[in-house]
Amino acid sequence: MFELLSEPRKDPILSLSAAYKDDPRTNKLDLGIGVYRNNDGITPVMAAVKAAEQYLLENQPSKAYVGLAGDEIFNEAITHLLLAGTEAEHRAIALQTPGASGALRMLADLIRQTKPDTTVWISDPGYVNHRPIMEAAGLKVRSYPYFDPNTKTLNEAAMLAQFAQLGPDDILLLHGCCHNPTGVDLEFSHWQQIASMSQKQGFLPFIDIAYQGFGDGLEQDLKGLQHVVDQVEEVLITTSCSKNFGLYRERTGAAVLVAKDKQTASKARSRMFEIVRANYTMPPDHGSAIVAHILTTPELKQQWLQELNTMLTRIKGLRTSLRTQFQAKTGEDRFAFFEHHKGMFSVTGLSTEQINRLREEFGIYIVGDSRVNVAGMQEQAIPYLIDSFLAVGA
Ligand code: LMR
């Protein structure tokens, strides 16, 4: 029967990682999948994570099942991390999920069960997995303009004009910070406009925040999100501990639902339990147990914050180096966008031909939409990167 299947659609990010692994060249550069690497090219296990793992090794009493909601200490801590100081924290519920992808699918299924005719609006360009996840849940997906490839900034007028058309049957999926793939974030004034448009027009904001702490800082990255949750009755949030806790393979994330009151939020949570049970029964525990222990142990939390800040400082430093070294080499400031963008990624505007040449001739791996993972670069590789970019006519 399986001969009936059509050819699979290749994931543009994961297929690139596989090709990179198979490349024997020693000077190859992986600027594909969103993974932070230090200057030795390593994605280290954070010291706070190691300490939490040590604690768990010595103190975890059992490996028996935890439950549909996952670790409730984690759920509470993650809600607090996102919503501390907002009034909305008291009308929010959270559910631990297998990564943020698991959270996106969970909320997509919930939307489909609540209001099957909903259209989810995603940014163009956007995270490569947003559309597949929403469509897999049976939802309609449309995209809104977001990025101006000429200026490598926000296409503000076109974006806001599209938002002005949205109504009660629409969900607006936004990136909380560190937009993937562009690196172009919304200004606080845009979040204010989105909140008041949502109040007037009735669309529901859905904020995916997978890179909290990689933009301007842990709290600063929440400014837009926290404004929206305090102004709007219902908001959906997905979050990930892959990047800011470096827990990639542990698949640690959460779905957060803010409703008009706690009772409505709890009802939604009960329906989410049904989705969990019919899907994976319960999420994996190890990553969430680590995060829960770090966030509830003041010294470990302090250590984690310091390590997160080191990563942020390094990413910002790489962005500045890219700009200044391109400037020194070309005498032009065409690459200033590297310094202006936020988070791990930047869309460079390279053509498909240039991207292919970089991979084939120089062993530099870049996603097909011209996204580069700045956070995965090493300072010493920047001159090679610049020479290669210029050699293909960037
Ligand atoms: C990325 O965009 O590279 C990461 O968020 C990994 C993923 O899940 O796609």
Tens digit of each residue's pLDDT (9 = 90 or more) over 331-358? 999 999 999 999 999 999 999 999 999 9
Mean pLDDT of 194-214: 98
CA 166 / ligand 1 centre spacing (Å): 28
| Rounded percentage of the chain residues whose pLDDT exceeds 90 | 99
Q: What are the pocket residues of ligand 1 if the criterion is a CB atom closer than 6 Å to any ligand atom? A: 13, 33-34, 129, 180, 210
Q: Of all atoms in ligand 1, which is nearest to the CA of residue 14?
A: 9
The pLDDT of residue 10 is: 87
Q: Which ipTM score applies to this complex?
A: 0.92
Give the residue from 220, 256, 234 showing the smallest Cα distance to 76: 256
CA 38 / ligand 1 centre spacing (Å): 18
CA 34 / ligand 1 centre spacing (Å): 5
B/e letters for 152-166, b = 16+ CB within 10 Å, e = fewer, are bebbbeebbebbeeb
CA 361 / ligand 1 centre spacing (Å): 25
Which residue has its alpha carbon closest to ligand 1 atom 5? 34
Q: Contact 198/172 with Cβ under 8 angstroms?
A: yes
Mean pLDDT of 63-88: 97
Give the tens place of pLDDT for each residue, 284-332: 999 999 999 999 999 999 999 999 999 999 999 999 999 999 999 999 9
Residue count of the chain, please give it: 394
Contacts of 328 (CB under 8 A, 6+ apart): none
| Rounded percentage of the chain residues whose pLDDT exceeds 70 | 100
The pLDDT of residue 195 is: 98
Mean pLDDT of 149-170: 98
pTM for the structure as a whole: 0.96
CA 374 / ligand 1 centre spacing (Å): 13
Q: Contact 123/179 with Cβ under 8 angstroms?
A: yes
Q: Of all atoms in ligand 1, which is nearest to the CA of residue 32?
A: 3
Label residue 119 by pLDDT band (50, 70, 90): very high
How crowded is residue 299: how many other Cβ atoms within 10 Å of its Cβ?
10
Distance CA 358, CA 352 (A): 10
Instruction: Examine the pLDDT at 131 and tell me if it is beyond 90.
Output: yes
The pLDDT of residue 261 is: 96
Give the residue from 159, 166, 100 showing the smallest Cα distance to 133: 100
Domains of the chain and any CATH numbers: 2-45+300-391 (3.90.1150.10), 65-296 (3.40.640.10)
The pLDDT of residue 9 is: 87
- The DSSP bridge partners found for residue 119 are 140, 170
The pLDDT of residue 189 is: 98
Mean pLDDT of 85-113: 98
For all residues of the chain together, what is the average pLDDT?
97
